[in-house]
Amino acid sequence: MEKFNTLTAVAAPMPLVNIDTDMIIPKQFLKTIHRSGLGKNLFDEMRFDREGNEISDFVLNQPAYRKSEIIVAGDNFGCGSSREHAPWALLDFGIRCVISTSFADIFFNNCFKNGILPVVLPEEAVKALMDDARNGENARLTVDLESQTVTASDGTEYHFDVDPTRKHNLLNGLDDIGQTLERSAAIDSFEATASQARPWV
């Protein structure tokens, strides 16, 4: 998993509330078990019409936001079904951070497991960052996980909370398997001791 430390990038404003996982990656794209290749279908029914043509007024189709790595979103982002394909699609598109006032629990957890930082901020802060994001590619946000801050283009800083274990894992690029392998020496020691104590097992 790619490490997350500091990200300075264009942020796409998505003021909709209750953006659910079916909006993020519609159900017809859930057949794959691969994490790559889903970015082209991110927000598929919002980005494309029935003929597959881009819908020009959707934010990620606008020139200023095509390479966004941050989304500033409305309340309750990632609600709906628990599909892990949602963070897979975001990450494959290039999104590394989503900022909102709240997230659905399962989506929130899945983000950390896949290298995406979900940032929860108060409504006033999200509104200010949303307004900043509307300025397009000239207004870049900086998200610093180490200092737990989001810095707007005018230099205003907003502090966010994050669980220390999740912070450690993101800073070091550790998914669940990587987190376990960090303790491989202790696991090997336990196994060796157990084998000597119970050789019949």
Cα gap 151→89, rounded to integer Å? 26
Residue 1 located in a structural domain: no
For the segment 142-201, what is each residue's pLDDT rounded down to a tens digit? Answer: 999 999 999 999 999 999 999 999 999 999 998 765 565 555 566 656 665 666 777 776
What's residue 183's pLDDT? 59
Residue 160 located in a structural domain: yes
What's residue 75's pLDDT? 98
For the segment 102-122, what is each residue's pLDDT rounded down to a tens digit? Answer: 999 999 999 999 999 999 999
Residue 35 located in a structural domain: yes
CA angle 71, 77, 80 (to 5 degrees): 140
What's residue 105's pLDDT? 97
CATH of the domain at 72: 3.20.19.10
The domain total for the chain is 1
User: Which residues form the domain of 93?
Assistant: 6-197
Cα gap 42→71, rounded to integer Å? 13
Question: Comparing C-alpha atoms, which of 193, 89, 71, 83 is closest to residue 143?
Answer: 71
Residue 153 located in a structural domain: yes
Residue with more model confidence, 137 or 103: 103
For residue 156 the two structure tokens come to 């205003």
Residue 76 located in a structural domain: yes
Residue 101 located in a structural domain: yes
Is 79 strand, coil or helix? strand
**63 to each of 15, 59, 76, 173, 188, how far by Cα in Å?**
18, 9, 27, 31, 52
What's residue 197's pLDDT? 72
Number of helices and strands (H, E) in the chain? Answer: 8, 7
**Which region among 7-16, 26-35, 116-125, 130-139 has the lowest average model confidence (pLDDT)?**
26-35
Residue 129 located in a structural domain: yes
For the segment 42-89, what is each residue's pLDDT rounded down to a tens digit? Answer: 999 999 999 999 999 999 999 999 999 999 999 999 999 989 999 999
What's residue 186's pLDDT? 61
What's residue 116's pLDDT? 98
Residue 31 binned pLDDT confidence (cut-offs 50, 70, 90): confident
What's residue 36's pLDDT? 84
Does 132 score more than 60 pLDDT? yes
Read off the pLDDT of each residue in 91-103 and give the average, rounded to a whole number. 98
Residue 91 located in a structural domain: yes
Cα gap 139→91, rounded to integer Å? 21
Question: Comparing C-alpha atoms, which of 66, 158, 176 is closest to residue 115?
Answer: 176
AA identity, residue 135 = N
Does 2 score more than 60 pLDDT? yes
AA identity, residue 96 = R
